[in-house]
A = this chain, B = another copy of it.
Amino acid sequence: MKAFDIAEGIRVLVYGEPMDTGAVVCRLGNEIEADGFGHVELLGPDASRITMELKKKDIVYGLGANLGGINKRGRKYESYCTDEPVHSEEKKRLYAAHNFLMISGNGAKGFFIDFPGLIGYDIGCSDKDKLIIDVAGEDFAVYEIDGKNEDEVVQRFHSIIGRSYVPPKWGLGYFQSRWGYETSKDVRRVKKSFDDLGIPLEGIYLDLDYMEDFKDFSVSDERFPDMEELVREFKEDGVYIIPIIDAGVKIEKGYDIYEEGILNDHFVKTEAGKPYVAAVWPGKVHLPDFLRPETRKWWGEKYKVLTDLGIEGYWNDMNEPAIFYDEEELEKAVDAAIASKGANLGVLKYFELKDLFKDMGNRERYYRTFYHEVDGKVVVNEKVHNLYGQNMTVAAGEGLRSILGKRHVLISRASSTGMHRHSGIWTGDNSSWWSHLELNIRMMPSINMAGFYYVGADTGGFGNSTNWELLTRWLQFSAFTPLYRNHSAIGNDFQEPYIFGDEVTGWNREIIKARYALIPYLYSEMMKSVMNGTMMFRPLSFMFRDDASKDTEDQLLLGKELMLTPVTKPNASGRTVYLPEDMAEVTFRDGEVSLERTASGLRRLEYGFDCLKFYLRKDSILPYSSPSMNVRSLDIGTLHAIAYVDKEAEYVLYDDDGESYGYETGESWSTTIKVRRDGLDFSAEAISDNPKIEKIVVDILGTDGDRIRKTITI
């Protein structure tokens, strides 16, 4: 092991000869003498173990988009990007490999394991007082980060992994999606429903349905003959079309992507050097070797087929990579079935046979049978498994940036830290379960830690049928997440916000409109978090040290201003909320915003379906706009704000053109709103270079007295 200085509070311990995974952007400093946070054992050629002691009260944060709590203790986890269709509680791995952890107790210590293969975490589970990390290799780096608190540790971590991807501002609108909008007629019908009912709509995601035989960069002539027109017409109304792209390339003579891939050697290979054959949606496919720069370049340029149709947003799917089966496994199962013919199967033999079929998807063996080319060397996928989705998405991100010359929407299912510079993520194929709404909440801070900000879950739930209540409650929570997408799977009940009758439609419309009113703030918070490398969503325990805050995993802090308290249970007219300090309860309902002082402690919050409710912290200001039908028509000529003020409050509203990369070089506008107590009255002032803002109307609730309105002319 060698240790190197990186920056203040950051060092790296290098074991063996780790590869460049693309996760970090920092350079090694001087070699130093250092022990790591944990005890490291090399157990074999492909096995290293890091062990750390946990104190009783230590909280362990991190692991990004995985299961478990905000506090990750008490479970086992694995980082190994996997298409896991059922996110039930016992699962250890999902789509992402986010290897940042932080132990918070007597101070905060973060560490990031830079390794592209399987890592197992046993966090106080087998042994309640130990954190055990099993790295399936001996070449890896551990970045260790000290900080004066959790926020500083995260910020320092983000300083070494580089600035995160930023979508265009329209990426913060409301998106409708479904696997099963089968034709352009379906898509037009959905948009018409939104229009007719006055529900804001920013775009429609297209799932596999739009493709010709599941072929990447193809559009079905039969089902979407008018794609270019559709995209253009919709865009005139401020509505974007966002098609899916899968990792696997259909094996089909004459299909250009396939032919080019074969010709230029773009596909991963078997041990014998032949293109590897996997089976996914198109049937048999080859998998592009996205770890090769040439292949990434080729792939990235392919998006031009779709950008030429006017499309500016994409989602990359199946890029763990998911594999339904390979030829060998299918043959094995079929042969076992043939051998069983006529035999009096014992029950154990029966289960063996059944499991051959049942467990055929994503078998670990598959990932030991195909190979990448990495810096001229042949490397089996298993060793670099977690870089596949990352590099597919790097290819897309770099390609799109180069083609479009302005920001695009891009989310990916598989991810690892490093990809955060190129794309957002969605949390994968969740279910229409109340517990997945809760999981969505818990995931947000961990995902921010891992470097991702443009994130959201499939609102309403992807698998299984949702119902009116779960959808509405989920819409209320997702109204705060940068990616706001309602998505569901074919075969389940439809779940558009207007599908459950007039009353529910009205509620959902109000919620989505309230979201649009919050976009100036949400965009500002997302951008400031990205620019500063800080968290957008924080656990209560980052700020408050009492046991009740530590145990609260169904509330979140958003920015420095808000505390979110979504209802996550059925049949509830409200919920218990925990206020670590006095706050103001905020209600957005029917275009009106109301404010109510609430004393700290455990409180009952009445929270119906027809509004958005949350809390505004003391000495905080929340700017918002009038609702609009899409981001393009958001009007902040008159910017509104509410303030809850004891002494004084300040908010700095970030804004920019929302589409160019100018923000990277500081092209942005800043509006500083200040409210100060002035005896029983308050003074409000603002400084702004934002040309869109003409005046600011601030409603101020003091910690005593009535609500007061101040108008500031810019």
Of residues 25 through 76 on chain A, the ones whose CB sits less than 8 Å from some CB of chain B are 59, 68-69, 71, 73-75
Q: Which residues of B contact A574 (CB under 8 A)?
A: 547-548, 551
A404 contacts partner chain B, Cβ-Cβ < 8 Å:
no
Count of this chain's copies in the oligomeric assembly: 2
CB A71 to nearest CB in B, in angstroms, measures 4
Determine, out of A155-163, A446-454, A564-572, the stretch whose residues face the partner at the interface. Answer: A564-572
Contact with B along A459-475 (1 / 0, CB 8 A): 00001110111100000
CB pair B89–A434 under 8 Å, yes or no, is: yes
Which of chain B's residues have a CB closer than 8 A to the CB of A467? 74-75, 125-126
Assess whether A575 is interfacial by the CB under 8 Å rule: yes
A583 CB, min distance to chain B CBs, angstroms: 16
1/0 per residue, CB under 8 A from B, across A349-361: the answer is 0100110111010
Q: Given A75-B467, A469-B128, A571-B71, does the pair A281, B90 have CB atoms closer than 8 Å?
A: no
Question: Is A578's CB within 8 Å of the partner chain B?
Answer: yes
Contacting B at CB under 8 A, from A407-439, are: 431-435
Using a CB-CB cutoff of 8 Å, which residues 75-130 of chain A contact chain B?
Answer: 75, 86, 88-90, 125-128
A354 neighbours in B (Cβ, 8 Å): 357-358, 360
Chain A positions 152 through 190: 1 when the CB is less than 8 Å from some CB of chain B, otherwise 0: 000000000000000000000000000000000000000
**Interface residue ranges of A317-362 to B (CB < 8 Å):** 324-325, 330, 333-334, 337-338, 340-341, 344-347, 350, 353-354, 356-358, 360
Bound CA span A3–B74, Å: 57
Q: Is the CB of A279 closer than 8 A to any CB of chain B?
A: yes
Contact residues in B for A353 (Cβ distance below 8 Å): 357
Residues of B within 8 A of A89 (CB): 431, 433-435, 464
A67 nearest CB across to chain B (Å): 11
Give, as a whole number of angstroms, the nearest-CB distance from A131 to chain B.
13
> Does A151 sit within 8 A of B, measured CB to CB?
no
In the assembled complex, which residues on chain B have CB atoms less than 8 Å from the CB atom of A59? 571
Query: How many chain A residues touch the partner (CB < 8 A)?
Result: 77
The interface stretch among A221-229, A265-273, A602-610, A641-649 is: A602-610
Rounded to whole Å, the gap between the CB of A704 and the closest CB of chain B is 24
On chain B, the residues within 8 Å of A500 by CB distance are: 128
The complex places the Cα of A501 from the Cα of B124 at a distance, in Å, of 13
- Closest chain-B Cβ to A376's Cβ sits at a distance in Å of 35
Contact of A283 with B347 in the complex, beta carbons under 8 Å: yes
Q: Which residue of B lies closest to A361 (CB)?
A: B354
Which residues A268-295 have CB closer than 8 A to chain B? 279-284
Question: Does A576 make an interface contact (CB < 8 A)?
Answer: yes
Contact B602 A88 (CB under 8 A): no
The answer to whether B350 and A279 touch across the interface, beta carbons within 8 angstroms, is yes
Q: Nearest Cβ distance between residue A326 and chain B, in whole angstroms?
A: 12
Decide if A193 is an interface residue (CB 8 Å cutoff): no
Inside 8 A of A347's CB, which chain B residues have their CB?
214, 279-283, 324
Q: Does A550 contact B (CB under 8 A)?
A: yes
Q: Report how far A619 CA is from B469 CA in the complex, Å.
A: 40
- Complex CA gap A236/B128 in Å reads 37
Q: Which residue of B lies closest to A463 (CB)?
A: B90
Q: Which residues of B contact A128 (CB under 8 A)?
A: 468-469, 500-501, 503-504
In the complex the two chains form, is B602's CB within 8 Å of A73's CB? no
Of B330, B548, B553, the contact of A576 (CB 8 Å cutoff): B548
A212 to B504, CA, bound (A): 59
Q: Which of B86, B283, B346, B547 contacts A604 (CB 8 A)?
A: B547
In the complex, chain B residues whose CB is within 8 Å of the CB of A551: 569, 571-575
Residues on B with beta carbons closer than 8 Å to the beta carbon of A603: 602
User: Shortest Cβ distance from A216 into chain B, in angstroms?
Assistant: 15
Provide the bound-state CA to CA distance between A572 and B551, in Å.
Answer: 5
Residues of B within 8 A of A74 (CB): 467, 469-470, 570-571
In the complex, A431→B86 CA distance in Å?
14
The residues of B that contact A576 with a CB separation of less than 8 Å are: 548, 576, 578, 602
A550 touches B570 (CB 8 A): no
Tell me the minimal C-beta distance from A368 to chain B in angstroms. 22
Instruction: State the CA gap A237–B227 with chains docked (Å).
Output: 79
For this complex, 12 residue pairs linking A to B, each with C-beta atoms less than 8 Å apart, are: A73-B570, A74-B571, A88-B88, A128-B468, A330-B340, A334-B337, A334-B338, A547-B574, A550-B573, A553-B569, A576-B602, A602-B603
Q: Given A282-B347, A551-B575, 13 more contacts at CB 8 Å?
A: A68-B570, A75-B570, A88-B433, A89-B431, A127-B501, A283-B345, A337-B338, A353-B357, A356-B357, A551-B571, A551-B572, A576-B602, A601-B602
Interface residues of A (CB under 8 A from B): 59, 68-69, 71, 73-75, 86, 88-90, 125-128, 214, 279-284, 324-325, 330, 333-334, 337-338, 340-341, 344-347, 350, 353-354, 356-358, 360, 431-435, 463-465, 467-470, 500-501, 503-504, 547-548, 550-551, 553, 569-576, 578, 601-604, 606
Q: Which 6 A-B pairs have the closest CB atoms?
A: A337-B337, A602-B602, A357-B357, A90-B464, A89-B433, A74-B570
